[in-house]
A and B are shown apart, each in its own frame.
Chain A
């Protein structure tokens, strides 16, 4: 059970949070201009990394804010947490 440091509330138990999949996949601004393949890339393709992964999390049973997390999926170590819109930490 993770202990997650919500950037708005502080450290809270994992059960207050919801995982929201891979981070930094921006919704295309002009979807109609995209080919089927390009749209499918946005819609379906997600990485499943063993190691450092960038993820979205939501403090669903708390402030309900979304934020980003860098997590090592091999040992579940949370490397960094930062707000939506902020730049990911460089390595």
Chain B
């Protein structure tokens, strides 16, 4: 057998540029322009991988993205390795390494191949049926399944490549640059539509570019010659952008499409560096022209999966485009004229074509006559009943088909061959079309699903629209373009087309064999090893919906989504179940059309850009002082400041004591701040908070609780009246954006009559909260001229002041129960303010504290944190905060819900304090609370919401929600844990300074 199967010089292959690459460790040579598949075929390598279930040897079937078998691992063992790559789509480059998948220890000798001999015991649904019982064995099964399953290996280190996203807007998007796509794009662009033409291949022209049927002519030229001239003309057209190596992955509604542009995969490793590897194009097109072509169908016969059995169209492309003969002894098997073109292609290059097996009775087309003249043997009304050859096709056996096509008769003829081209007709590539939500209809005559009802401005042209012959393609394309683009004339008006008119075909979904179906292996889905037998079994077992049959047999569930065999699966189901195919419908084609890398999907959103976070103006100081950080919403907040080797517990205990004994300082910049102005600002606050606001004096602050309409606590915070019609509201850190959204909603939709303006100013101010008995002295040092007496600046009031030249807003408010000031300055001065406080506080041992200490201090005071002590099911009454709910106000958001029968139940979960009998035991937040230990099942009364060891009280404290807790003061309850039951007593949630004396200390 010849080693090199190059048959002619192709203009797409640069034979001066020799490239070496490795496949399964062995070095081969190809040329610039080769795909991995064409280069391997030129080296007479057909065995590429093993099938998923039976580990049967498999070869290259196709020449495009629909390839089910020839999937390989690229650059194994490197951080650029990629599994499940179709060898038909990889452009070779110097140093490329590819290897087989799904086999061990090697593709030549694969242990899993034993499954092939076990196959009678591995019918459809085998895994579902077998690994169900007994349930306790699942872990054992899982181990084996995980080891024998899986396609390829993912990389184990991080991806060195850069990926990108880009938004693209165009008037016309043309998908597919075959003859239809090129003509559509040209005419759209020439008529001033901003046009984008994309194609998944690296060369334009689709299959017409290597068309060889001498009976087809456009303007008296061979269509490929004619098309090359058209492609040449594209270059000068403005308004037209062309992207090759770009495959559309998804077509969503409203003409929103996602495409992957491949930029460096065809380059040598040294040239890939620092370049964008793949780019996700997010395309919004006013009009979409689908010119996605058609996929050739295989034929379904016994042992139709051996290496060397390929699509007839692929044999032709390898011969004409890549200049490679797929075999030295070739046979074709067909139900239409396509195979004759492929046969002639080989014959014209001096390659042996032994026979054409045609299931039709005859064909009178010119091309068939030409084949007859060439002396190639044609077996009419014959079918292949079996094939031989384990790792490479050796022979086919044929028999005469009965008239009705359901059986075979006569004697068996064996034909030795090493390549079989199969031609089962054409399936329009309607995948993207249906993804857009558009509907198909079934064309009974041609046995194809065709575009029928469009949901957006789109047309399907060429063979994806059901036109297979060049005359029809051009005539219908012309009319569709005129209608879709609303233009009167096109380049296509005066084109003369001649075609070979014969178009007969005979469709048999499952070809008969001399053996019964149970003894044969007619594969429908090659990648997942689903045979016609499996489909029939599913139907016998009662499956009727095609979606169910698909999942049960795994037909169409591989990485290729069954692009080749889906139609046959549908045909076999329809025939067996006695349903018309049009009524059966199709399975859903889901995005992506071909697999996308994770890199393309995430683009630049990796590392620190994966989830954007916000830092306060004081952040650098926290960093320099070794703060640990905590995520709060998108903010990074200082959590605690460990000194030396302190644990978190030690740091928090120290910070908490210091804040109460002398002075502490907290970065409160992250609290949401909303500036509220307008003549109805007071009325607005009356409606959104539970308490009354009209009488709040200018310069005073008030705590407010905000509910949802269902009466449940939504947010809280202090709002300050800055002027007659001017307030500043603070919200929780995490709730800021939602609160603003909710307030805007009410203003715009329910109360448009109110004169109120809301502005988020969270980022405009930096806030330092000074707290503790010495906070007043520290503030005095910073702002000597401000009168800090309780008379002039009492608790819950506001002053405007200056630190040097810098204006600041100071609120005397407290979340810790200590004498405290919140100092707000313009954000850019935040760090200076903080440093000034630290400097002034030095003599008082001022201690920076983080969110954890803040939580502990407020828990000592029994102050709630919305979202920690509440969970969207707590009313203010449940929180024992009746005092903040105005009885006088006629209405506020959520008021009516507080009087619903359900919210008034006495046995709702209510907030209480809990003390452990052993003061050293700290309860776990989230732990359950019960009143009886010997009940079965035990009734859960509630759970712990906040729990700390209080250094100031020297005991453990907790807040909890307990069913009916309000009336349980002093009651003994239990917190059952894994190893012990903890005894607790219900207590007042205010553990520290119940009389609030420290606020004025």
| Chain A residues within 8 Å of B, Cβ to Cβ | 1-3, 13, 18, 20, 26-28, 30-32, 34, 36, 39-40, 43, 56, 58, 60, 64-66, 75-77, 84-85
CA gap between A34 and B896 in the complex, in Å = 8
* Chain B: minimal CB distance from A44 (Å): 8
Is B741 within 8 A of A60, CB to CB?
yes
Which one of B253, B750, B896, B897 has the greatest number of beta carbons of chain A within 10 Å?
Answer: B896
Closest approach, in angstroms, between the C-beta of B556 and any C-beta of chain A?
25
List 10 A-B pairs, minimum CB-CB distance, nearest first.
A31-B896, A3-B254, A1-B256, A66-B748, A27-B750, A1-B252, A39-B896, A66-B749, A36-B900, A84-B749
Task: Report B-chain residues with C-beta under 8 Å of the C-beta of A85.
Answer: 752
Is B680 positioned at the interface, with any CB of A under 8 Å from its CB? no
Report how far A50 CA is from B744 CA in the complex, Å.
Answer: 30
Flag if A40 contacts B254 (CB, 8 Å).
Answer: no
B900 contacts A31, C-beta separation under 8 Å? no
Of residues A31, A39, A56, which shows the largest number of chain B Cβ atoms within 10 Å of its Cβ? A31
Given known A1-B256, A77-B455, contact A20–B745 (CB-CB < 8 A): yes
**In angstroms, how far is the closest chain B Cβ from the Cβ of A46?**
13
7 contacts between A and B (CB under 8 A): A3-B255, A13-B256, A43-B709, A58-B745, A60-B741, A65-B748, A75-B437
Is B505 part of the binding interface, using a Cβ–Cβ cutoff of 8 Å?
no
Q: Does B133 contact A (CB under 8 A)?
A: no
Determine whether the beta carbon of B891 is less than 8 Å from that of A1: no
Given contacts A31-B896, A39-B900, contact A84 B254 (CB under 8 A): no
User: What are the residues of chain B within 8 A of A28 when measuring CB–CB?
Assistant: 896
Which A residues are in CB contact (< 8 Å) with B749? Answer: 56, 66, 84
Give min CB distance, A53 to chain B, whole Å: 16
Q: Does B890 contact A (CB under 8 A)?
A: yes
Is B284 part of the contact surface with A, judged by Cβ < 8 Å? yes
Residue on B nearest A42 in the bound complex, by CB: B709
Task: Please tell me if B630 contacts chain A, counting CB pairs below 8 Å.
Answer: no
Bound complex: CA of A28 vs CA of B198, how far in Å?
55
Alpha-carbon gap, A69 to B437, bound state (A): 20
Across the A-B interface, how many residue pairs have beta carbons closer than 8 Å? Answer: 56
Whether the Cβ atoms of A36 and B901 lie closer than 8 Å is yes
B710 within 8 A of A: yes
Interface string of B889-905 (1 = CB under 8 A from A): 01100011101110000
A58 close to B896 (CB less than 8 A): no
Complex contact A43–B897 (CB within 8 A): yes
- Mark B253-277 against chain A: 1 for CB-CB distance below 8 A, else 0: 1111000000000000000000000
How many Å lie between the Cα of A20 and that of B745 in the bound state? 9
For A34, the chain B residues whose CB sits under 8 A away are 896
Give chain B nearest CB distance to A9 CB in angstroms. Answer: 15
Residue of B nearest to A4 (CB): B254
Mask, B219-260, CB within 8 Å of A = 1, is 000000000000000000000000000000000111110000
Q: In angstroms, how far is the closest chain A Cβ from the Cβ of B281?
A: 14
In whole Å, how far is B889's beta carbon from the nearest beta carbon of chain A? 10
> Which residues of the partner chain A approach B745 to less than 8 Å between Cβ atoms?
20, 58, 66
Identify 10 new A-B residue pairs, CB closer than 8 A, beyond the known A39-B897, A56-B749. Answer: A1-B254, A2-B253, A2-B254, A13-B284, A27-B709, A32-B896, A43-B710, A58-B741, A66-B749, A85-B752
When distances are taken between beta carbons in the complex, the residues of chain A under 8 Å from B901 are: 36
Within 8 A of A (CB), among B734-793: 741, 744-745, 748-750, 752
Report the Cα distance A34→B899, complex, angstroms. 11
Other-chain contact of B891, A31, A39, A58, A84 (Cβ < 8 Å) = A31
Q: Which residue of B lies closest to A1 (CB)?
A: B256
Write out the residue numbers on chain B whose beta carbons fall within 8 Å of the beta carbon of A31: 891, 895-896
**Among A1, A26, A30, A65, which residue has the most Cβ atoms of chain B within 10 A?**
A1
Contacting residues, chain B, for A30 (C-beta < 8 A): 891
When distances are taken between beta carbons in the complex, the residues of chain B under 8 Å from A64 are 744
Closest partner residue, chain A, to B257 (CB atom):
A1
Once bound together, how far apart are the Cα atoms of A28 and B890, in whole Å? 13
Chain B hits for A66, CB < 8 A: 744-745, 748-749
A3 and B256: CB pair below 8 A?
A: yes
Given contacts A3-B284, A40-B900, A43-B710, contact A75 B748 (CB under 8 A): no
**Shortest beta-carbon distance from A50 to chain B in Å:** 15
Expressed in whole angstroms, the Cα–Cα distance for A39 and B899 within the complex equals: 10
Determine the chain B residues whose CB is within 8 A of the CB of A20 once the complex forms: 745
What separation, in Å, do the CA atoms of A56 and B891 have in the docked complex?
24
CB distance from A63 to the nearest CB of B (A): 11
- In the bound assembly, the distance between CA atoms of A1 and B709 in angstroms comes to 31
Residue of A nearest to B740 (CB): A64
A1 and B435 alpha carbons, distance in the complex (Å): 12
A39 to B510, CA, bound (A): 64
CA distance A65 to B749 in the complex (A): 10
Rounded to whole angstroms, the CA-CA distance of A32 and B752 in the bound complex is 21
Residues of A within 8 Å of B752, CB to CB, are: 84-85
Q: How far is the CA of A20 from the CA of B742 in the complex (A)?
A: 11
Chain B proximity of A21: nearest CB distance (Å):
11
**Closest residue of B by beta carbon distance from A78:** B254
User: Closest residue of chain A to B708, judged by CB?
Assistant: A43
Chain A: minimal CB distance from B577 (Å):
28
On chain B, the residues within 8 Å of A39 by CB distance are 896-897, 900
Q: Please give, as numbers and ranges, the residues of chain B lying within 8 Å of A75 by CB-CB distance.
A: 437, 455
The residue of chain B having its C-beta at the shortest distance from the C-beta of A31 within the complex is B896
**What per-residue 1/0 map shows which CB atoms of B870-903 lie under 8 Å from chain A?**
0000000000000000000011000111011100
Residues of B near A2 (CB, < 8 A) are 253-254
CB-CB nearest in chain B for A2: B254
* Cα A43 to Cα B897 with chains together (Å): 9
B448 to chain A, nearest CB (A): 24
Q: Tell me the minimal C-beta distance from A60 to chain B in angstroms.
A: 7
Minimum CB–CB distance for B251 against chain A, Å: 11
| Complex contact B744–A76 (CB within 8 A) | no
Tell me the complex Cα distance, A28–B897, Å.
13
| Closest B residue by C-beta to A66 | B748
Instruction: Encode B449-461 as 1/0 by CB contact (under 8 A) with A.
Output: 0000001000000
Within the complex, what minimum Cβ distance (angstroms) separates B591 from chain A? 12
CA distance A25 to B741 in the complex (A): 18
Q: What separation, in Å, do the CA atoms of A66 and B437 have in the docked complex?
A: 28
- CB–CB A32/B455 < 8 A: no
Please give me the residue from chain B that is nearest to A68 by CB atom.
Answer: B749
Distance in angstroms from A30 CB to nearest chain B CB is 8
Chain A residue nearest in CB terms to B896: A31
CA A75 to CA B254, docked complex, whole Å: 11
Bound: A51/B463 CA distance, A: 34
Kindly state the separation between the CA atoms of A37 and B745 in the bound complex, as whole angstroms: 25
Chain B residue numbers with a CB within 8 Å of A32 are 890-891, 895-896, 899
User: Which single residue of chain B is at the shortest CB-CB distance from A38?
Assistant: B896
Task: Report Cα–Cα, A27/B750, bound state, in Å.
Answer: 7
Chain B's closest residue to A30 (CB) is B891
Which residues of the other chain, A, contact B255 by a CB distance below 8 angstroms? 3
Cα A40 to Cα B710 in complex, Å, equals 9
Contacts of B284 in A (CB 8 A): 3, 13
Kindly state the separation between the CA atoms of A35 and B896 in the bound complex, as whole angstroms. 10
- Rounded to whole angstroms, the CA-CA distance of A10 and B710 in the bound complex is 35
State the Cβ distance, B424 to closest chain A Cβ, in Å: 34
Closest approach, in angstroms, between the C-beta of A18 and any C-beta of chain B? 8
A69 to chain B, nearest CB (A): 13
The distance in angstroms between the C-alpha atoms of A20 and B749, with both chains bound, is 11
Task: Please give the distance in Å from A55's CB to the nearest CB on chain B.
Answer: 13
Closest to A85 in B: B752
**Hey, which chain A residues are within 8 Å of B750, CB to CB?**
26-27
CA distance A39 to B898 in the complex (A): 11
Task: Say how far A39's CB is from chain B's closest CB, in angstroms.
Answer: 5
In angstroms, how far is the closest chain A Cβ from the Cβ of B755?
A: 16
Collect the chain B residues with CB atoms within 8 Å of residue A36's CB: 900-901
Chain A residues with CB under 8 Å of B437's CB are 75-76
Residues of chain B with a CB closer than 8 A to A40's CB: 900
- In Å, the complex CA distance between A60 and B737 comes to 10
CB distance from B688 to the nearest CB of A (A): 13
Task: Determine the chain B residues whose CB is within 8 A of the CB of A43 once the complex forms.
Answer: 709-710, 897
Query: Which residue on chain B has the smallest CB distance to residue A13?
Result: B284
In the bound assembly, the distance between CA atoms of A63 and B437 in angstroms comes to: 30
